[in-house]
């Protein structure tokens, strides 16, 4: 019943968006992207940054060309599936807390419904290229759910199968969009809060899952994250217009693929497109192992839009600005008005200086010195730590729900709200999966308030 309500409500809310035109980054990812116009390019697409998402654009094109309705339909369906996984994730979590089954289903359903239809999700769902955000979130939730199931499994074979599923989900999530990078931390935090109850022995008993996550985490760090941040090489981390673009990065240096993956991709022309610098170092492919695929067109050279080598905003200014941005995200989740695809958000030049707001900017809340936002955020996080520690002392696992989802919110924002500068300091789609933490806390708080008010009236 909950799944049907979520699906129906989402379809109703987004039914008037299916004819919305391609916008901004949709142009170079879809309209001008020759690489998606031949399914023989799929291996090459999937070998690149955000290749899983790029592959879905190719499938969309194969099914309906540039008919925008097909792209919106896929985005909406993916959003529905993500909301359903959010429901399962929450319900399984509440069951672990030994909460009443009726209460668990009610809170999980209301939270997932708000997640599905809240206006702040519009950008992630309707802005076609941000299918990347939705897909990464879908696989992120799937990985956590598989971990919950694996922890409850009584057979080694089933656990091994589920652990493999966690690794595959992490891989698919990361190559949908890099926001999935934080998945190991989210799973570890979940384990501590709800499964092991803070027991190190309990955490270590699931070492195969953490080993899989650690291997992928290290691989992603070396091959992608260091390049994105500009710590290694001199490449450009993202495409044009927005750092949220992926992919077709012109001459950006990328790490060498393993030999087996190079063989699977096949064709030196493909490798030279995906990894221009790696072509000379690549091991020669055996002729019988090569399936020739048409080479993708060379992508244009795009400006740097993210990373430590970006000269438009420095790490310190970006961090200060993100203090105000995170408070603004919270205000949007609470009161979603004056939403914008391209904010004119003021950049903070100093921790104690009020950012200068341009005359044309429309913001919901006044801008104050970043130190004010930093103190508010510190108080929220410190309160969550206190609640979590207190719950362990009193052996009250249900009291860990609010701390966990507080950390969930900030953890999911970490890849875009840190010290690594991005030219667009704020984007609503970045709060897509993080918002689940806010909505969970909101629904539980309202439920507790209603129970207290009506409980008092009955007395």
With CA atoms as reference, report the closest residue to 419 among 229, 238, 270: 229
Q: Residue 26: how many CB atoms within 10 A of its CB? A: 19
Distance CA 15, CA 126 (A): 11
More reliable by pLDDT, 244 or 297: 297
**CB-based contacts of 397: which residues, under 8 Å, 6+ apart?**
96, 97, 98, 193, 194, 197, 391
**Residue 397 in this model has a pLDDT that exceeds 50:** yes
Per the structure, how many domains does the chain have? 1
**Helix, strand, coil: what percent of the chain each, to 5?**
65, 0, 35
Which two structure tokens, joined as six digits, stand for 270?
């493909």
Mean pLDDT along residues 364-373:
92
Which percentage of the chain shows pLDDT scores above 70? Answer: 81
**Residue 424 in this model has a pLDDT that exceeds 60:** yes
What pTM did the predictor assign? 0.85
First and final CA of the chain: distance in angstroms?
34
Residue 273 within any structural domain of the chain: no
Q: Number of H helices and number of E strands within the chain?
A: 19, 0
Across 380-414, b (16+ Cβ under 10 Å) vs e yields beeebeebbeebbeeeebebbbbbbbbbbbbbbbe
At 284-303, the pLDDT tens digits run 434 444 445 555 655 444 45
**Residue 270 in this model has a pLDDT that exceeds 60:** no
Across 197-217, b (16+ Cβ under 10 Å) vs e yields bbeeeebeebebbbebbeebb
Distance CA 281, CA 303 (A): 27
At 46-76, the pLDDT tens digits run 888 888 999 999 999 999 999 999 999 999 9
Residue 204 within any structural domain of the chain: yes
Residue 79 within any structural domain of the chain: yes
- Given this model, what pLDDT does residue 293 score? 54
Which two structure tokens, joined as six digits, stand for 108?
């999980």
Residue 302 within any structural domain of the chain: no
Measure Cα distances from 33 to 38, 229, 301 in Å: 11, 25, 14
Mean pLDDT along residues 11-32:
91
Residue 121 within any structural domain of the chain: yes
Please tell me the least confidently modeled range out of 97-106, 283-292, 301-310, 421-430: 283-292
Residue 50 within any structural domain of the chain: no
Measure Cα distances from 363 to 295, 372, 401 in Å: 46, 17, 32
At 408-420, the pLDDT tens digits run 999 999 999 999 8
Q: Which runs of consecutive H residues, i.e. helices, occur in 97-154?
A: 101-117, 122-126, 131-152
- Given this model, what pLDDT does residue 224 score? 85
Residue 151 within any structural domain of the chain: yes
Distance CA 416, CA 343 (A): 15
- Given this model, what pLDDT does residue 101 score? 87
**Residue 237 in this model has a pLDDT that exceeds 60:** no
Please tell me the least confidently modeled range out of 75-79, 231-235, 412-416: 231-235
Helix, coil or strand: residue 422:
strand
**Residue 319 in this model has a pLDDT that exceeds 90:** yes
List the domain range (segments joined by +) for residue 324. 2-22+66-229+312-458
Which two structure tokens, joined as six digits, stand for 234?
């001199």
Distance CA 39, CA 61 (A): 9
Residue 37 within any structural domain of the chain: no
């Amino acid at each position: 019943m909950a799944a049907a309500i979520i699906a129906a409500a989402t379809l109703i809310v987004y039914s008037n968006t299916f004819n919305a035109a391609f916008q901004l980054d949709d142009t170079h990812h879809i309209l001008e992207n020759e690489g998606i116009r031949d399914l023989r390019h799929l291996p090459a697409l999937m070998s690149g940054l955000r290749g899983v998402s790029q592959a879905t654009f190719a499938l969309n094109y194969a099914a309906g060309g540039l008919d925008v309705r097909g792209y919106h339909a896929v985005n909406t369906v993916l959003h529905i599936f993500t909301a359903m996984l959010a429901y399962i994730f929450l319900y399984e979590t509440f069951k672990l807390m030994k909460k009443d089954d009726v209460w668990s289903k009610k809170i999980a359903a209301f939270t997932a419904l708000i997640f599905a239809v809240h206006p702040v999700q519009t950008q992630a769902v309707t802005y076609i290229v941000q299918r990347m955000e939705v897909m990464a979130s879908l696989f992120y939730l799937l990985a956590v759910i598989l971990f919950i199931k694996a922890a409850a499994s009584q057979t080694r074979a089933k656990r091994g199968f589920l652990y493999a599923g966690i690794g595959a989900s992490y891989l698919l999530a990361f190559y949908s969009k890099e926001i999935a990078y934080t998945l190991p931390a989210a799973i570890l935090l979940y384990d501590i809060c709800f499964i092991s109850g803070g027991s190190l022995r309990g955490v270590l008993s699931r070492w195969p899952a953490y080993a899989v996550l650690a291997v992928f985490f290290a691989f992603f760090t070396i091959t992608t994250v260091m390049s994105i941040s500009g710590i290694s090489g001199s490449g450009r981390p993202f495409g044009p217009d927005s750092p949220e673009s992926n992919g077709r990065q012109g001459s950006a240096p990328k790490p060498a693929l393993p030999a087996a993956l190079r063989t699977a991709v096949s064709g030196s022309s493909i490798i030279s497109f995906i990894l221009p610098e790696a072509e000379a170092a690549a091991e020669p492919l055996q002729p019988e192992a090569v399936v020739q695929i048409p080479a993708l067109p060379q992508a244009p050279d795009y400006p740097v839009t993210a990373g430590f080598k970006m000269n438009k905003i420095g790490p310190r200014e970006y961090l200060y600005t993100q203090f105000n941005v995170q408070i603004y995200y919270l205000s949007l989740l609470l009161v979603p008005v004056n939403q914008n695809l391209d904010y004119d958000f003021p950049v903070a030049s100093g921790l104690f200086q009020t950012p200068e707001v341009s005359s044309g900017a429309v913001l919901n809340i006044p801008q104050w010195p970043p130190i004010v936002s930093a103190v508010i955020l510190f108080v929220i996080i410190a309160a969550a730590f206190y609640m979590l520690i207190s719950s362990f002392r009193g052996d009250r696992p249900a009291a860990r729900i609010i701390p966990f989802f507080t950390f969930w919110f900030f953890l999911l924002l970490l890849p875009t709200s840190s010290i690594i500068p991005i030219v667009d300091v704020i984007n609503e789609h970045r709060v897509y999966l993080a918002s689940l933490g806010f909505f969970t806390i909101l629904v539980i708080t309202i439920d507790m308030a209603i129970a207290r008010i009506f409980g008092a009236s009955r007395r």
